[in-house]
Structure 1
Amino acid sequence: MPTRRGGLGTSDVLLLGAAGNSGALIGAELAARGLSVRLAGRRLAPVDDLARALTARGASAQACAVDVDEPDSLSAALAGARVVLNTVGPFTRRAGPVIAACLAAGVPYVDIANEFPAVWGLLDRDGEARERGVVLVTGAGFGPAATETLVLRLVEVMASPPRGVRVASAAGVTRQTEGVTQSIVAALGQGALTYRDGRLVREPLGSGATELTFGGAARPVFPAPVGDLEAARRASGAADVVAYQPDPSTRRSGTDSVAWAEVTGRDGRIRTAELHLGEGVRATAAIAAETTRRVLAGAMPGAWTPGRLFGADLVPDASGARITLDGVPA
């Protein structure tokens, strides 16, 4: 039977935000990988129901109530957990205290953030994470892990680091949760962000809007303050980087998700790649769970994106994604 606070003992994973749609799917993916899970949410009843459902299928699951904005509540939930997987957004506002608590307790941390400030902020703590011997991983979801995968694949076949990189993705989802909506709103408030000559440039949202053709469709897109931007820069070493987001007013039906990347070499040669997989939230659940499993299996301390820590095969291994390089299956 699932366990409530007062008898939590130990668990492989403390899953924060387990009551949400993403959290429930991630909980199932973690259990399918044989990991014991402590399901945590602001209210006990929903996570208790999920814990009972997972336990009925043979998983080891616990349930507890936690308020990630309250240090004492968070500290109590952390006790006995081997790694924290955080799905509570907006990450720009709410991830910091969780990361700090993990660093203080020496517990590895994984999240599914794709807001530029949140991804950049975690990666900026690399020195502190190495000093404390703690693994921190951000962006362990469809965005930005899918475009990062493509950039890593393209860079592998180039003779030298590219001069420029452009990435974009379009996640097909069954429904967009309130948490995801809040994260998108928080991110878009940053305006349009790009890297030019190695410098971060901020402009009004909508600047640089264009149309890209990928996934078999022409898509209106605009530069966005998403984690893909920082992940692509670090994966490529390019001085000029743009991460595009589809215009939400032209959202397409269907649940197929696609990512696209283009790199321009110093000789001017352009190469492209695409990644195709299924429903975006389910893909995020698989990527987050597999990233967490690999962290538990052993990883180098520091602050990472999933691809830079585990390589370009992580996303296909986790989700069954199909990749093409210059139109050829890879």
Structure 2
Amino acid sequence: MGEIWIIGATGRAGRNISAGLRAGGHRIVLVGRNAQRLAEAAATIEASGGVPPRTLVTDDPLAEIAAGRPDVVVNTVGPFGTTTVPTAQACVVAGSHYVDLANEFQPVRSLLEMDSAARAAGSTLVTGAGFGTLANEALVYELCAGRPSPIRVRVAAMPVVDGLGPAVLASVVDAAATGGLIYRDGRLVRTRLGAHLRRIPLPDGTTRATVAVPTGELEAALRGSGAGDVIATSSEVPTGRMARAALPIVGAILRVEALRRTVIRLIDRWQLTPPATPGEVSWAYASAEWEGGETRQAWLQTGEGYAFTSRVAAMVAARLAEGDARPGAFTPGALFGADLARSAGATITLDSTTKDLR
């Protein structure tokens, strides 16, 4: 069984993933910049029994990957627009497998474009190993299994989270700077950030408001369905009228590189975090429409979103370390199918309807 490095092991995701892998008997290395926090994380894991994990203190994890050639690297450090491609490239050179938690559109798309390089190196690269990307693409795969490609797909992520760290807020800033994006006729086109407001119907009889944001599931839904028109929406962005009016202005401001980097530095310095989303159930939703008007929809239900993300990332890393790998670049659902979401604790409900879901 191979050695798994967790970069950013002292953060919430890193600690949860490390604990899950250690509980499964995997050899893990906790990687980070702060020696004291790494020691504390290692002590917590050691207290649960077994051999204590190894720690690696470094300001240059890419150089350490090149020197150490780990079997699997799990990248939990955002913003992923900055860390995904360089870390994945280091893994390709080292012949290592790679997993990250990215859910911003650009890093997910950029990682998937590394497919040829990964196959040539014999590395498996997995991006979006978490709630947003997997939950939505699992629904797309379920809806489209054994059927021709639909003409239109819409997905929505509606997680509840107990609390997230500064790296997640930095990723939100990067995503906002990307602006609104959708696929139309198979082409990526600009749309207003926060457009396409829709109240998503849930099986419990309630609805949740979502708006279009540039997330990793936009690319995952396109690739998983083969549809020409794809929209990805989320409840994590404010959906009130005034907030939606302000979103394009905020996005335009954040597109100024120097200003965006300043904001991200302040987030890290002051340890700013996104607000928690209260509740007990996280939902994902997908609808698909075919020629002739047939429409199907599906829902995924699970608990707290970040706990689900940690389980997914740990499961993907464990399977790669155990040899269940295929060279190339993938989202988790593309590599392991919709059942990966079920194994991580989600339930999926399918329904057919003829309603207009656009």
Compute the TM-score of the two structures, normalised by the length of structure 1: 0.90
Partner residue of 2:31 out of 40, 44, 59: 40
Q: Partner of 1:64 in structure 2?
A: 56
CA distance in 1, matches of 2:179, 2:50: 43
Match for 2:337: what amino acid? G
Contact 1:18 1:39 in 2 (8 A): yes
CA RMSD of aligned residues (A): 2.0
Evaluate the alpha carbon distance shift between residue 313 and residue 211 of structure 1 in structure 2; reply closer, same or farther with a 3 A threshold.
Answer: same
1:237 lines up with 2:198 in the alignment: no
CA distance in 2, matches of 1:252, 1:141: 17
Contact 1:13 1:82 in 2 (8 A): yes
Contact 1:155 1:236 in 2 (8 A): yes
Compute the TM-score of the two structures, normalised by the length of structure 2: 0.83
Deviation at 1:56, TM superposition (A): 2.5
In the alignment, structure 1 segments of 5+ residues that lack a partner are 1-9
Deviation at 1:193, TM superposition (A): 0.7
Match for 1:197: what amino acid? D
Partner residue of 1:81 out of 70, 75, 89: 70
CA distance in 2, matches of 1:249, 1:229: 19
Q: Partner of 1:326 in structure 2?
A: 351
CA distance in 2, matches of 1:171, 1:239: 26
Deviates further, 203-212 or 235-244: 203-212
SS at match of 1:206: coil
Partner residue of 2:314 out of 289, 295, 298: 289
Deviation at 1:138, TM superposition (A): 0.5
Partner residue of 2:11 out of 13, 16, 20: 20
CA distance in 1, matches of 2:132, 2:50: 28
Match for 1:116: what amino acid? F
In the alignment, structure 2 segments of 5+ residues that lack a partner are 240-275, 353-358
SS at match of 1:207: coil
SS at match of 1:273: strand
CA distance in 1, matches of 2:329, 2:237: 31
CA distance in 2, matches of 1:59, 1:164: 50
Q: Partner of 1:188 in structure 2?
A: 176
Q: Percent identity?
A: 41
SS at match of 1:326: strand
Q: Deviations over 1:175-213 (max 9, x none)?
A: 121111111121121111110000001123123233222
Match for 2:285: what amino acid? W
CA distance in 2, matches of 1:134, 1:252: 36
Deviation at 1:215, TM superposition (A): 5.6
SS at match of 2:238: helix
Q: Partner of 2:247 in structure 1?
A: none
Deviation at 1:95, TM superposition (A): 1.6
Match for 1:27: what amino acid? S
Q: Deviations over 1:10-32 (max 9, x none)?
A: 96200001111111111111112
Q: Partner of 2:141 in structure 1?
A: 152
CA distance in 1, matches of 2:227, 2:296: 14
1:301 lines up with 2:327 in the alignment: yes
Match for 1:305: what amino acid? T
Matches within 5 A, 1:122-271: 122-156=111-145, 159-214=147-202, 216=204, 217-246=206-235, 248-249=237-238, 253-271=278-296
CA distance in 2, matches of 1:322, 1:277: 7
Evaluate the alpha carbon distance shift between residue 73 and residue 36 of structure 1 in structure 2; reply closer, same or farther with a 3 A threshold.
Answer: closer
Match for 1:269: what amino acid? E
Deviation at 1:320, TM superposition (A): 1.6
Deviation at 1:59, TM superposition (A): 3.9
Match for 2:154: what amino acid? R
Larger relative contact order (CA 8 Å, sep ≥ 6)? 2
Q: Deviations over 1:280-305 (max 9, x none)?
A: 11100100011111112221100011
Count of residues in correspondence between the two structures = 314
SS at match of 1:169: strand
Q: Deviations over 1:123-147 (max 9, x none)?
A: 0010111111111110111111110
Deviation at 1:71, TM superposition (A): 4.2
Evaluate the alpha carbon distance shift between residue 305 and residue 247 of structure 1 in structure 2; reply closer, same or farther with a 3 A threshold.
Answer: closer
Match for 1:238: what amino acid? A
Deviation at 1:321, TM superposition (A): 0.8
